[in-house]
Structure 1
Amino acid sequence: MPLTVENIISRIHLPANVPDVVPSIVMDFLVPDISLARAIDVSSSVALLDFIWARSVRDARSDRWSVARLLQSQPRYFRWEFSQALLQAVSCEDRGMVEWVVAHFPGCPVSGRVLEEVAARGWLWLLQLLQAQEGGALRCSKETLSKAAENGHWEVVHWLIDHTNTVQDNHRYLVGIAVGANNLEEYRWLKARGYGVDRVAFTESPQEEWPVRKEIFYDVLQRSRWMAGSALRDAARNDDVPFAEWLVTHYCKDGGTNLPHYSGAKAASEKGCLEMLQWHLKRLRDVIDLSEVMFLAAENGRLEVVKWLRTEYATKPSVDLFQGTSSHFGASACAFAMDAAAGQGHLDVLQFLHELCISLQTQRKAEHPGSFQHDAHIPHFGPQCSPAKCGHLEIVKWLFASRSEDSALANAGITRHLRLEPRCRKKQIISAMRQAVEHDHFEVVLFLHTMYVKCRDANKMQAELKRNLFWVRNDDEIRAWIEEH
């Protein structure tokens, strides 16, 4: 509903002797009876707001029911409309609209939702204006302060604490936000106010911010020892062995458990910090299951870590790298690691694990010929493996090449998963094509199509492709190609 109210008003030229009611009738016909919030949503016209306000004053003197009349006849609706209109104006980031709303609703209490939205946008000028409107009675909640802090508007946080009736607490959550954001300046400001440290949900920060976070850790740990575990994980992510040693010496008294070092090992493996990984593993008691450590290295393409783990623990049968005794991955951690590497596009890791898998299966077959089960794995094209979905064309090509190496793989006795039945192979190709189409990876679609042609009767292929792929939302060019093929 386009509303160009200024144009409408400027184009209405009625004779001077026309009764005053006529312009109102004309405008009522042209402009629907809507709320101020709705008007702000559909138009940036202050003239439209002026007209709706004038309509409300006019209708208040009559018995006619209208939305506009409620503004002048229902006090609760008046206050509610103020909150809705102001919230909409703030959401539209239209300062002119905001100032109009505030000017026309003097003395109305400001809702918490409005304050949260204003604080999240860092509009200190509006908070000060609303404070003046309410005569210093603005009440600030924990949520309002949090919104400002989480969005980095610390000048708003300072003003709210100093100039409003804030909820009385020690603002520990603000300290947590400052620490989590590596904001040393604000952490010191809050600390100087005597605020303690609450639980902090640490997010991963850029490596260049590590010195700042480390300085915060040094200070915070003097008052909150529980943060030592988070500090140790962050040290692992940033390959800071000296800081990790300091933590273990002073704070990480693990009570005889592996938890701090196992968590650190996982973080180091994920980031490819080999020196840190080695440091943690040397301190682990009774190393048994490292399948999750191996999985994280494979998923994140840390080939150096994958190779080192294999070399280090190949001769230690008590250490579990692949069978997956961890509760997360069940009995096929090696398969999960290969699938993860494929889905993330790490071809070098996938190839290494594939060769390793063949080697392990050959060894197990020789050691246990009677009970040996063929469980070698090549990542599938189904929903659990996403190279096609993510557009990793080289991975897709390698998967097809590996599946055709039956003669070489037969010697290792692991072809159960590689010699797929034709029907199964077709279904997997269709599944992969569907994912590639849905995510606009046209080059992957074209490659998979050539593979599909090789295992399908061309006369039946076109209808099956359309039936399986045409419904998928996709680019116009891909849709046109599907129509052609």
Structure 2
Amino acid sequence: MLPAFSAAAFVFRSRPAFDGLPHVVDTVSVFLDSSVDLSLFNACKTGSVRLLDRIWNSSQVFVDGSPDPGTKWTLRRFLRTDKHYQQYLFTKCLEYAVPRQDLDVIKWLSSKFQGFTVTFEVVARACKAGSMDILRFFYKNDSRFLEERGEIGRGHPTEWGGLSMSAAVLSHRSDIVWWLHGHIPDADYNWGTALNSALMRGNIILVEWMEAQGVRSEVTRVALRSIVASGRLDVLQWLERRGQLPSAIRLLGMAAEKGHLDIVQWMINHSLESHAEDQHRIRVVGLADLSIRAAAANEISVVGHVSRSIHVAATNGHLEVAKYLRQFVVERFDDEPPVLFPVERTKIKDHIRRPGFGKVTGMAMVLAVKNDFLDVVKWLIEEYGDDPSMNIFEHSGFSTVVDTAAEHGQFDVLKYFHELQIAGETRLYCTKNAMDKAAANGHLDIVHWLHDIYMEGCSTAAMDEAAGNGHLDVVKWLHRHRAEGCTQAAMDKAAMYGHLDVVQWLHANRSEGCTTRAMDEAAMTGRLDMVKWLHANRSEGCTQFAMDEAAIHGHLDVVKWLHSNRTEGCSVRAMSEASENGHLKVVQWLYANRSEGCTSNTMDYAATFGHFEMVLFLHYQCHLDCQSILALEAQLRDHPGMSAWMLEHYPALNDAIMEE
């Protein structure tokens, strides 16, 4: 029997009539104690060992086989009786506790789940967290080492190896790398990934140490991109000296995106120099024609990469890099390419002059405006504004850069564009999208300014979207100063996103009203206060969509309220898709209180998405079967404990896999 709640014991101490009746205190304690129905995983999140103990002790009745006949279905039934569920819980709880370095919870889990496996993923998370204390604890409790000391039947099989070495490297914990290698040298580490991780962190000493241990691995593109992104020119040069940096120019875009001018310059020069050397070697052996073609192809390739990188540098605000790249291309237009044969000079220059080389599109301007890079905006106009072959002010037939500035609240950019318009730039104009989007994003100052300066106006989308995003000040201003009004979508969207003040204002001041979508989507997003207000003040009501979506998204309080106060009910979608999303409390309630049930493949989807506790409920309480091979295959990969349970209870699945 669990100890009585302190509050219950205190209350009954002041009631002499209950002296000598301890079962009353115990019964009241059980009634009040909802903590024991918390899943062990959720209890782990609290970090409370006392709570974990209470849940664990409450499951003893199922071990003894003597639960009360009226006991409701509970996960505690399996906490100490189902080995597959125990492995699943042990792993899932460790995966949560280890990154938080909650050693008290980890020790508690170890003491209660003796014999269960500490997985590769758990060890890797300890390495990633940089927790030597946790790693030492796992090592001390590794059943393999305990057995060597004669302590049979204790500890945990521990999966050393895999990505744990790489995780330590990525966390800048070389000490953990040495410790792993020194204490568990025979583990099957993924050394290739570890070496690439060391390169990504710029740890050349560690790379050289790994190579001294016999590690050999190709440098991956992911590693190269990370090296460039972090600005490690020294590592790139180290790789180049070793002949491990093929086609560095292909990474130019990443260097430009991150603003690493030194790497950009080095990549371009390195590419030109290396190809010049190749060209010389080809000429030496007498292959002049091949030399010409190689030079032409290289020149075109370099300029092509540089051209694309101008856009990337500019749209990320790296103006110095963009200017350097642009100047490089301009020089390639005006100067003679470094080729010894006149016929090839003409071919190269003709190719470089194709549309797109050395240029940007309207999207570059849009992104610069969106990110408020006014200096980049001015440079783009200065550099490309007079080019008759392109229009940097328009990127689609529906929106302009002026619209974009208004949408994102970039008032300085907007005013700059207006100055250009006054000066005669006819390609700068706005559409209704400008005020619509500014209103939607709550930029009232810009809405007001557009109203005063431009004639394009707005559409009903302005008030609709402003309402949906909760910008009541904008809604009120549009109501007073514009005639476009709104549609029912205004209240529908405001209800969906929980903006009760907006809904109430629209209800009192506008006549458009709403549709059933208002309550439906408020229920979907869990806005119970909104659902109640609409129920009390509007007549549109809702549809089955309301309870279905509330259930699917896990809003049990909304589901219960709709059940008690509305008549629309739900469909089989409610229980089926709530199961798919792992909302166990919702599914339990629907099963006990609604008659719609679920579809026959509900278990398959719950299993496919790894909801073991849902699978247990559907199997034991709803008597559903798992029929999907895909579900089993997903768990074989992600949740071995769950897949073992499925094979034990549905052996036909294994037969089906063997047949395939």
Q: Give TM class, smaller chain.
A: 0.5 to 0.7
Q: For the residues of structure 1 that align with 2:227 and 2:508, how far apart are their CA atoms?
A: 47
Which runs of structure 2 are paired with 1:340-359 in the superposition (5 Å)? 340-353=404-417
The alpha-carbon deviation at position 427 of structure 1 amounts to 0.7
Which residue does the alignment assign to 2:246? 225
Q: In structure 1, which of residues 191, 194, 198 is the aligned counterpart of residue 220 of structure 2?
A: 198
1:40 aligns with 2:92: no
Is the Cα–Cα contact under 8 Å of residues 406 and 438 in structure 2 kept in the other structure? yes
Is the Cα–Cα contact under 8 Å of residues 307 and 326 in structure 2 kept in the other structure? yes
**Residue 400 of structure 1 aligns to which amino acid in structure 2?**
H
The alpha-carbon deviation at position 102 of structure 1 amounts to 1.0
1:225 partner SS: coil
Change (3 A) 1:402 1:394: same
Which residue does the alignment assign to 1:410? none
Is the Cα–Cα contact under 8 Å of residues 118 and 127 in structure 1 kept in the other structure? yes
Which residue does the alignment assign to 2:480? 453
Q: In structure 2, which of residues 353, 360, 369 is the aligned counterpart of residue 286 of structure 1?
A: 353
The alpha-carbon deviation at position 316 of structure 1 amounts to 4.1
Which runs of structure 2 are paired with 1:58-137 in the superposition (5 Å)? 60=63, 62=65, 74-87=82-95, 89-90=97-98, 94-134=102-142, 135-136=144-145
Report sequence identity in percent.
19
Which runs of structure 2 are paired with 1:420-459 in the superposition (5 Å)? 425-434=458-467, 438=469, 440-441=470-471, 445-446=473-474, 449-456=476-483
After TM superposition, where is structure 1 displaced by more than 6 Å over at least 4 residues in a row? 3-6, 8-13, 20-30, 203-206, 357-361, 461-466
| 5+ residue gaps, structure 2 | 14-19, 69-73, 146-156, 276-296, 330-351, 510-660
Is the Cα–Cα contact under 8 Å of residues 430 and 468 in structure 1 kept in the other structure? no
Change (3 A) 1:28 1:143: farther
Q: For the residues of structure 1 that align with 2:373 and 2:234, how far apart are their CA atoms?
A: 29
Which residue does the alignment assign to 1:320? 390
Which residue does the alignment assign to 2:374? 303
Is the Cα–Cα contact under 8 Å of residues 149 and 157 in structure 1 kept in the other structure? yes
**Residue 432 of structure 2 aligns to which amino acid in structure 1?**
H
Which residue does the alignment assign to 1:372? none
Which residue does the alignment assign to 1:339? 403
Q: For the residues of structure 2 that align with 1:472 and 1:303, how far apart are their CA atoms?
A: 36
Q: How many residues are matched?
A: 423
Which residue does the alignment assign to 2:315? 270
Q: For the residues of structure 1 that align with 2:87 and 2:402, how far apart are their CA atoms?
A: 60
The alpha-carbon deviation at position 265 of structure 1 amounts to 0.9
1:139 partner SS: coil
Change (3 A) 1:268 1:177: same
Q: For the residues of structure 1 that align with 2:75 and 2:498, how far apart are their CA atoms?
A: 44
Is the Cα–Cα contact under 8 Å of residues 90 and 117 in structure 1 kept in the other structure? yes
1:322 partner SS: coil
Q: For the residues of structure 2 that align with 1:87 and 1:387, how far apart are their CA atoms?
A: 44
The alpha-carbon deviation at position 262 of structure 1 amounts to 1.5
Q: In structure 1, which of residues 202, 209, 216 is the aligned counterpart of residue 235 of structure 2?
A: 216
2:322 partner SS: helix
TM-score by length of 2: 0.51
Q: For the residues of structure 2 that align with 1:26 and 1:455, how far apart are their CA atoms?
A: 63
1:106 partner SS: coil
1:251 partner SS: helix
The alpha-carbon deviation at position 86 of structure 1 amounts to 3.8
TM-score by length of 1: 0.67
The alpha-carbon deviation at position 378 of structure 1 amounts to 0.6
Q: For the residues of structure 2 that align with 1:52 and 1:287, how far apart are their CA atoms?
A: 72
Q: For the residues of structure 1 that align with 2:131 and 2:327, how far apart are their CA atoms?
A: 53
Which residue does the alignment assign to 1:398? 449
Output one character per residue of 1:436-471: Cα deviation in whole Å (capped at 9) or x when no partner: xx2x555xx34x5334323339xxx79979746642
Change (3 A) 1:379 1:117: farther
| 5+ residue gaps, structure 1 | 363-374, 405-417
Q: For the residues of structure 1 that align with 2:305 and 2:392, how far apart are their CA atoms?
A: 22
